[in-house]
Amino acid sequence: MSRILKNVVFAAWFGIASPALADGHLAAIEPPVPTAALLTPELPRFTSVPVPSEKFQNPIADIVARQANISSFGTACGPSMIVNVAQDAMLAVRVLAPCLPYEAVRIEHEDLAFTIAMPMTGELHFLLPALTENAVLKAILSDGTVLKASTSVPDMQNFARVALQWSGADPGELIANAPKILSGDMIQLGQPTDVDGAVLQVFSSRISDQTASGVIRLSLRTPVTATNCNTGQTARVRRVVPREPILTYDLILKGPGCGAIGQSLELKNVLQDLKLARN
């Protein structure tokens, strides 16, 4: 069967009209023209729904917001203070402020105060001689936060203590001259970083196990600087001795004049001596 005849048979089989012949070659086959117009497909309609703005949060901003209360060590920023009783009527103090490293902290106890810098970790530890049997402490942080803690110190009745707070950048020194049998401990706390700073010195002597009576001579030594040579210095004293009234009072030390800059003056008979006796 010839090729032309085969094409005719295939065309008849599929119901397609025979293509026209031109010079013995098949003509191009054109698709049939539809007798009815095709329907346009109906596309789905989309409507916009308003979404609250909080749904569109910047991922970076969200991370920063969640880490705003986390220190560089990954701990929560929330500050706190814990006070426990330690041996020899001492207060073991722990102040936490992880997000305020190197910032100054002001510690207040019985109307006396000292300033100290927070370490890099934001965790401050120190021992403070108690100045009352019912000890209350306050920590004032650089951001204005005030922390409070309290505890009872029953052993306080066995100690005589004289505390001296120096205010300003040029603190002086508390000096205690005591017989060996009455010798005690001198504890200093604080850093005189600026004019708003304060340093606390406490002389402490246990009297419950004294084997003899004696007198402890107390005096002050103060440096003369360009800051205090004319204005002088201020200090606050708290005296806690068993069977004696508790005393807290202020001292105003007159400046000797700026011609004395560089000298160190020892002031005697400014503080009342401690007269201690065996219980």
Report yes or no on 46 lying in a domain: no
Q: How many angstroms separate the Cα of 163 from the Cα of each of 16, 76, 189, 239, 268?
A: 119, 35, 11, 6, 16
Q: Which residues pair with 233 in a beta bridge?
A: 253
The tens-digit pLDDT sequence of the chain (279 residues) is: 555 445 444 444 444 444 444 455 444 455 555 555 556 666 556 565 565 555 445 555 444 444 567 766 667 788 999 999 999 999 999 999 999 999 999 999 999 999 999 999 999 999 999 999 999 999 999 999 999 999 999 999 999 999 999 987 788 899 988 777 667 899 999 987 666 789 999 999 888 655 567 888 999 999 999 988 998 888 999 999 988 999 999 998 888 899 999 999 888 888 988 887 765
Report yes or no on 51 lying in a domain: no
For residue 129, what pLDDT is reported?
Answer: 97
Report yes or no on 38 lying in a domain: no
Report yes or no on 62 lying in a domain: no
Rounded Cα distance between 14 and 35, Å, is: 19
Domains in the chain: how many in total?
A: 1
Report yes or no on 28 lying in a domain: no
Q: Which residue has the tokens 């706390």?
A: 189
Report yes or no on 41 lying in a domain: no
Q: pLDDT tens across 127-141, in order?
A: 999 999 999 999 999
Q: How many angstroms separate the Cα of 272 from the Cα of each of 84, 172, 275?
A: 31, 17, 9
Please spell the DSSP secondary structure of 160-194, one letter per residue.
Answer: EEEEEEEESSS--EEEEE--GGG--EEEEE----S
270, 220 Cβ separation under 8 angstroms? yes
Report yes or no on 182 lying in a domain: yes
Domain coverage including residue 131: 80-276
- Return the closest-CA partner of residue 242 out of 184, 161, 174: 161
Q: pLDDT tens across 178-234, in order?
A: 777 667 899 999 987 666 789 999 999 888 655 567 888 999 999 999 988 998 888
